[in-house]
């Protein structure tokens, strides 16, 4: 069995920046155990698999699934962006928009100049308990703690977020799937907000750039800053740039992609 494989760096305009995702276009789904094993072998934050959509997929173009090295997840932004990049550049270059059927519903990606723009659900966070436990896990006390899909810890400055050195065993033990650390961008930087993302429960201590976390970050910072359009940076060691827009019940998350690897996974035929 030979499976095509692309590796794409998402939310960056240069190789070895942003967040790498592995993409496997398929004619039909493989067994779940095999897809999980491939994701573990790739050992990237996400490996995405997609197939031509079926009658059950509500008029989408493709069905899409995402796997970390440890488990299948419900939503992943950077691998969705990367999957669209492969479709637009390799499989169907005449396309300007693609719709995916996923565990999180229909997700669309459209060309936006030299960027690709995700259309994702908005997930405004709400205040929650557990600030002291999060502070102990992150090694610094946030100004406030909120929660939607993930915990969201707001700090007072970009420098405080950059300086965090989490205790990942404590982060994993929290009653949260993952934790976003966020703060306003440094004065004069042109960045509205920054973030980092910690998800040891998913087998990812720190994710380089996280599209799904911006489903909460965009409505939070849009309301706090009083503006619908925002420019964000995820300040992991690899780093990433995201152009964001609050559209009410949806958010737009745009970024660039760079393909760095093309290859084939070779497995014994059964």
The pLDDT score that the predictor gives to residue 106 is 95
| Whole-number average pLDDT of the chain | 96
The pLDDT score that the predictor gives to residue 13 is 96
Of the candidates 151, 149, 140, the one whose C-alpha atom is nearest the C-alpha of residue 180 is 151
Q: Does the active-site annotation cover 46? A: yes
**% of the chain with per-residue pLDDT over 90:** 98
For residues 26 and 51, the answer to whether their CB atoms sit within 8 Å is: yes
Coil/strand/helix, residue 43: coil
What is the pLDDT averaged over residues 58-78? 95
156-198: pLDDT as tens digits: 999 999 999 999 999 999 999 999 999 999 999 999 999 999 9
pTM above 0.75, yes or no: yes
pLDDT band at 43 (very low <50, low <70, confident <90, very high): very high
27-37: pLDDT as tens digits: 999 999 999 99
pLDDT band at 237 (very low <50, low <70, confident <90, very high): very high
What is the pLDDT averaged over residues 5-21? 97
- Is the pLDDT at 270 greater than 80? The verdict is no
Cα–Cα distance, 53 to 81 (Å, whole number): 18
From residue 122, how far is each of 183, 231, 247, 254 by CA, in Å?
A: 19, 17, 8, 15
The pLDDT score that the predictor gives to residue 269 is 83
For residues 214 and 196, the answer to whether their CB atoms sit within 8 Å is: no
The pLDDT score that the predictor gives to residue 25 is 98
Instruction: Out of 27, 31, 33, 46, pick the active-site residue.
Output: 46
204-213: pLDDT as tens digits: 999 999 999 9
Q: How many CB atoms lie within 10 A of CB 19?
A: 31
The pLDDT score that the predictor gives to residue 256 is 98
Helix (H) or strand (E) holding 171: helix 168-173
> What domains are defined for the chain?
2-121+255-266 (3.10.310.10), 126-246 (3.10.310.10)
128-152: pLDDT as tens digits: 999 999 999 999 999 999 999 999 9
């Amino acid at each position: 069995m030979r499976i095509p494989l692309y590796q794409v760096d998402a939310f960056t305009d240069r190789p070895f920046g942003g967040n790498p995702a592995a993409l496997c276009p398929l004619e039909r789904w493989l067994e779940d155990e095999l897809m999980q094993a491939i994701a573990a072998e790739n050992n990237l934050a996400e490996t995405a698999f997609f197939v031509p959509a079926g009658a059950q997929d509500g008029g989408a173009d493709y069905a899409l699934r995402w796997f970390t090295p440890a488990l299948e997840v419900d939503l992943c932004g950077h691998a969705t962006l990367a999957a669209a990049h492969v479709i637009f550049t390799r499989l169907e270059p005449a396309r300007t928009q693609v719709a995916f059927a996923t565990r999180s519903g229909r997700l669309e990606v459209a060309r936006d100049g030299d960027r690709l723009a995700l259309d994702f659900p908005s997930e405004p966070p709400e205040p929650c308990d557990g600030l002291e436990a999060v502070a102990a896990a992150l090694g610094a006390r946030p100004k406030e703690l909120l929660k939607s899909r993930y915990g969201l810890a707001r700090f007072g400055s970009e420098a405080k977020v950059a300086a965090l050195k989490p205790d990942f065993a404590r982060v994993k033990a929290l009653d949260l799937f993952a934790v976003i650390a966020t703060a306003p961008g440094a004065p004069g930087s042109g960045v509205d907000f920054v973030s980092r993302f910690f998800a040891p429960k998913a087998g990812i201590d720190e994710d380089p750039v996280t599209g799904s976390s911006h489903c909460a970050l965009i409505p939070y910072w849009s309301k706090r800053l009083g503006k619908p359009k925002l420019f964000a940076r995820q300040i992991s060691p690899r780093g990433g740039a995201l152009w964001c827009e609050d559209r009410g019940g949806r958010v737009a998350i745009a970024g660039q992609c760079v393909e760095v690897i093309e290859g084939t996974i070779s497995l014994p035929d059964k």
